[in-house]
Amino acid sequence: MTTTQLDQHQPGSVVAARATGLTKTYGHGESAVHALRDVDLALLEGRFTAIMGPSGSGKSTLMHCLAGLDAATAGTVEVAGRELSGLDDTALTLFRREHIGFVFQAFNLLPMLTARQNILLPLELSGVKVDRDHFDEVTAMLGITDRLGHLPSELSGGQQQRVAIARALVAQPDVVFADEPTGNLDSDSSAEVLGHLRRSVKERGMTVVMVTHELEAAAYADDVVVIRDGRVDAHLIEPSQDQLVAVLRRKVA
């Protein structure tokens, strides 16, 4: 595994999400699929991390386990200092609502609600009072202030994804997980959305973990985790484009 020493790089950094001995096996016996094999990984607060790797290598499984959407076969996941395996379904749902934000490839906005209503829905569901200043700051940062009264169908794909990002950020989660957030966008909208995710890390101190197939998308991240065959092959801290390409190529060879 290729890893720049995190402790040397950022002394005193806080771990936002940690996997220890994380193993996920689908099925049994000869038909068992080992999606994750004994993964140890620490993702630091205030970093933008891309997860890359070949199709079927375990990226989505890793993200789903880290986000508490899928239970591991063995090992532990800790988010914001809390071990998820000790939580029952209700506690896990509440924990996710409070501590974890999600951005999906398909935006997942409710079509009958305006952008503003979509952004506020999770807070309303959890009975949390809206911090108006924070709402205004987040929507301004994402450049959607003048689109808030519109339905998703009246917005471009890039605008819809920015609304989905606002929905994730407005609850001030500890970690935002983004699953191929630009998979449905053209290159201009992708650049815009990735730029906004990066700003949320740099300007608002968010922690973002993004699964992506695209080298152009990974270039917006600080760090890149490369997964292959259910294992962490490399955890690259601020790699250059050349370093990243070399590691990805090496894995394919």
Ligand X SMILES: Nc1ncnc2c1ncn2[C@@H]1O[C@H](COP(=O)(O)OP(=O)(O)OP(=O)(O)O)[C@@H](O)[C@H]1O
Of 138, 144, 253, give the one whose Cα is nearest residue 199.
138
Instruction: Answer yes or no whether residue 181 interacts with ligand X by CB under 6 A.
Output: no
Q: How far is the CB of 228 from ligand X (least distance, A)?
A: 9
Window 10 to 29, contacts with ligand X (CB under 6 A): 26
10 vs 60 by CB, closer to ligand X: 60
Amino acid letter for position 252: V
Q: Decide: is 90 part of the binding site for ligand X (CB under 6 A).
A: no
Choice between 192 and 233, CB closer to ligand X: 233
Q: Which stretch binds ligand X (CB under 6 A): 49-57, 111-119, 147-155, 199-207?
A: 49-57
The residue from 8, 55, 90, 153 that contacts ligand X (CB under 6 A) is 55
Q: How many chain residues interact with ligand X (CB under 6 A)?
A: 11
Least distance in angstroms from the C-beta of 209 to ligand X: 13
DSSP state of 14: P
Comparison of 60 and 243: residue with beta carbon closer to ligand X: 60
Rounded to whole angstroms, how far apart are CA atoms 138 and 206?
12
Indicate whether 106 belongs to the interface with ligand X (CB under 6 A).
Answer: no
Which phi and psi (to 5°) does residue 22 adopt?
Answer: -70, 120
Residue-by-residue DSSP string for 84-145:
GGG--HHHHHHHHHHHEEEEETT----TTS-HHHHHHHHHHHTTPPP-HHHHHHHHHHTT-G
Q: Of 13, 43, 40, whose CA–CA distance to 230 is shortest?
A: 40
Complex with ligand X: residue 12 or 27, whichever CB lies closer: 27
Out of 25, 60, 105, 156, which residue is the one contacting ligand X (CB under 6 A)? 60
Q: Is residue 199 within 8 Å of 138, Cβ to Cβ?
A: no
Q: Is 228 in the site for ligand X (CB under 6 A)?
A: no
182 forms part of the interface with ligand X (CB under 6 A): no
Residue 195 tokens read as 């730029």
Tell me what percent of the chain is helix, strand and coil, each rounded to the nearest 5. Answer: 40, 25, 35
For position 59 contacting ligand X by CB under 6 A, the verdict is yes
How many secondary structure helices (H) and strands (E) does the chain include? Answer: 9, 11
**Stretch binding ligand X (CB under 6 A), from 12-20, 50-58, 129-137, 144-152:** 50-58
Q: Is 118 in the site for ligand X (CB under 6 A)?
A: no
Binding residues for ligand X, rule: CB under 6 A, are 26, 33, 35, 53, 55-61
